[in-house]
Amino acid sequence: MPVTLFGRIAFQIESWINAVLNRTSDPAAELDYSYEQLRDQLQEINRGIATVTTQKKRLQMHRERLRSSVEKYDEQVREAVRQDRDDLARRALEKKHATLDQVTGLEEQIERLQATQDDLVERQVALRGRIEGFRTHKETLKARHEAAQASARVAEAFTGVGGEMADVSRAIERATERTEQMEARAAALEELEASGALDDVLAEGDEIDRELQRRSTEQRIDRELEDLKTRVGRETDAGTDGELEPETPESGTD
């Protein structure tokens, strides 16, 4: 059968290649290299955490500046109402609500960044544990490998066993080590999936959405302006009544 013949030839070639690799490879060096790769992956996670934290802090600082601006606009509105300048009060309220919308967008972004940071920290802790476990397992395998090499050399010296049996032993050991390395690498890569991205806080809707938003904002501004005028008027009336209240004459009998 052609397929069977080609399969046998491919198997023989793969076996020969594996035998060559087994003779030239250094399992201890391969384990050390895999360990350093895991440590590099941990450093990538650490850099990711630092980047996300920096972005979150930057947005938090910007949010605090916007909140200070909202307080300033509130004072401007009250002063404009006291001076009977509805136009200035309306402009200040428009700026206030535009700033509040920006604050809301920033808060959503900060929450997303916080979730991303928490996820990266969890992955960092998990990967550290895997690295420590791999390091212990690596040292154990290296000790076993060195002991096996020493035992094989001693056995060959006493029994005269040739290189074929040694090749079989090393092939089995190499297959076991590579399987364990691939399992450790696959588990580590599962912990390093990229996640989280800054969404655009300036995304806008269509023209109808913007018009509805503008009308809603104007209605809020009108209501707030009327409330402020009412409160300021009451405060003014209360002050005037206090100043004009007549004194009660003292009464007595002669």
pLDDT digits (tens, 9 = 90+) for 136-164: 887 887 787 777 777 777 666 655 555 55
Please tell me the predicted confidence (pLDDT) of residue 203: 43
What pLDDT was estimated at residue 191?
57
- pLDDT for res 230: 86
pLDDT score of 25: 64
Pick from 29, 14, 22, 16: which is nearest to 169 by CA? 22
The pair of three-digit structure tokens given for residue 11, joined into one six-digit string: 């198997």
- Give the confidence band of 60 by pLDDT, cuts at 50, 70, 90: very high
The answer, yes or no, to whether residue 127 has pLDDT greater than 60, is yes
Q: How confident is the model at residue 72 (pLDDT cuts 50, 70, 90)?
A: very high
Please write the tens of the pLDDT for every residue from 20-40. Answer: 555 556 777 787 888 888 888
User: What distance in Å separates the CA atoms of residue 136 and residue 132, rounded to the nearest whole number?
Assistant: 6
- pLDDT recorded at residue 220: 86
Residues 201, 108 contacting (CB under 8 angstroms): yes
Residue 110, pLDDT score = 93
What is the distance, to the nearest Å, from the Cα of residue 174 to the centroid of all Cα atoms in its chain?
A: 38
Is the pLDDT at 49 greater than 80? The verdict is: yes
Contact of 158 with 76, CB cutoff 8 Å: no
pLDDT at 21: 52
Contact between residue 188 and residue 34 where contact means Cβ atoms under 8 Å apart: no
Residue 135 CA neighbour count, 13 Å, CB half: 10
C-alpha count within 13 angstroms, C-beta hemisphere, residue 52: 24
Instruction: Name the pLDDT band for 234 (thresholds 50, 70, 90).
Output: confident
1 pLDDT higher than 50:
no
pLDDT, average across residues 88-98: 90
pLDDT in tens, 106-123: 999 999 999 999 999 998
CA–CA dist 56, 59 (Å, integer): 5
Query: How many other β-carbons are positioned within 10 Å of the β-carbon of residue 23?
Result: 12
Task: Give how far Cα 69 sits from Cα of 85, 86, 106, 250, Å.
Answer: 20, 20, 15, 54
Using CA atoms, how far residue 113 sits from 54, 124, 163, in Å, is 10, 16, 59
Confidence of residue 243 (pLDDT cuts 50, 70, 90): low
Q: Flag the least confident range among 65-79, 166-180, 189-203, 226-240.
A: 189-203
* CB crowding 160-191: b at 16 or more within 10 Å, else e: eeeeeebeebbbebbeebeebbeebeeebeeb
DSSP output for 17-75: HHHHHHHH--HHHHHHHHHHHHHHHHHHHHHHHHHHHHHHHHHHHHHHHHHHHHHHHHH
Confidence check: pLDDT of 253 > 50: no
Rounded Cα–Cα distance for residues 136 and 142 (Å): 10
Whole-number Å distance between alpha carbons of 33 and 42: 14
Residue 196 is predicted with a pLDDT of 40
pLDDT at 9: 65
Q: Which CATH number fits domain 12-193: 1.25.40, 1.10.3470, 1.10.287, 3.40.50?
A: 1.10.287
